[in-house]
Amino acid sequence: MAKIKSLEDLMKIKDDAVKNLKLRETGKRGKIVVAMGTCGIAAGAKDTFKAVVEELSDKDIDDISVVQSGCFGLCDAEPTIEVKLEGSEPIVYGHVTPEQAKRIINQHIVNGKVVGDLIIKRGEL
């Protein structure tokens, strides 16, 4: 480990470490659930999951949690993800490749507009 020589050095370490801790914070604005059943994983859900986490962190979005779940029962549309924002109805998206995942984050999470062409279900599962 390099020695810390100044407050700036210290703050640099802090900024990095904070990202990790932010992920643990509770009481967030919403969450993204990635279906990781066998069907989802076979269709590439792991890459989708990774893309979601990376895009959120690239965009410094720390009020959205990411969790995984079993199969939503929408196996023909895998990989599927569900976006649940506080105060609005949950949306399930299908065929979410890593590219589409980034689109969903930018359009839905950042700008608050659902991504119409990927929706396969509205409301509680």
Partner 1 sequence: MLKPITILVSVDSNSALLGARHYKNYLSQLVKKYNLDSITDVLETGSFGNYGEGVLISILPENIHYSVKSEKDIELIVQEYLLKGRRVPSLVVEKIEKEETEEKKKNVEERVVLRNAGEIDPKNINEYIAKDGYQALAKVLNEERIEVINKVKESGLRGRGGAGFPTGMKWEFTYKVDNPEKYVICNADEGEPGTFKDRLIMEGDPHSVIEGMAIAAYAVGANKGYIYIRGEYFESISNLRKAIEQAYEYGLLGDNILDSGFNFDLSVRLGAGAYVCGEETALIESIEGKSGRPRLKPPYPPVSGLYGKPTVVNNVETYASVPPIIINGPDWFKVLGTSNSAGTKVFSLCGNLINKGIVEVKMGTTVSDLVYNFGGGIRDGKAIKMIQTGGAAGTFIKPEEMNTPLDFDSMKNYGISLGSGVILAINEDHCAVDVALNLMEFFEHESCGKCTPCREGTKVIVDILHKFSKGQGSEELFNSLYDIAETMEASAFCGLGQAVPIPLRSILDRFKDEFMAHVGVDEAPCGVCKFPKKKKKVH
Distances, alpha carbon 79 to alpha carbons 106, 109, 124, in Å: 18, 18, 18
Q: What is the DSSP letter of 111?
A: T
Q: Classify burial at 49, counting beta carbons within 10 Å of its beta carbon; exposed 0-12, middle 13-18, buried 19 or more.
A: buried
If one asks whether residue 10 binds partner 1 (CB under 8 A), the answer comes out as: yes
Question: Whole-number minimum distance, CB 12 to partner 1, in Å?
Answer: 10
Dihedral (CA of 39, 59, 104, 108) sign: positive
* Contact mark string toward partner 1, 11..50, x via CB under 8 A: --xx-xxxxxx-xxxxxx--x-x--xx-----------xx
**Looking at 61, 66, 75, 120, which residue binds partner 1 (CB under 8 A)?**
66
* DSSP per-residue codes, 72-98: -S-GGG-S-EEEEETTS--EEE-S--H
Task: Select the residue interacting with partner 1 from 1, 87, 112, 113 (CB under 8 A).
Answer: 1
115 binds partner 1 (CB under 8 A): no
For partner 1, the closer of residues 72 and 116 by Cβ is: 72
Going by C-alpha positions, the residue among 95, 99, 97, 108 that lies closest to residue 32 is: 108
> Judged by CB under 8 A, does residue 75 bind partner 1?
no
Q: Which residues bind partner 1 (CB under 8 A)?
A: 1, 3-7, 10, 13-14, 16-21, 23-28, 31, 33, 36-37, 49-50, 53-54, 57, 65-70
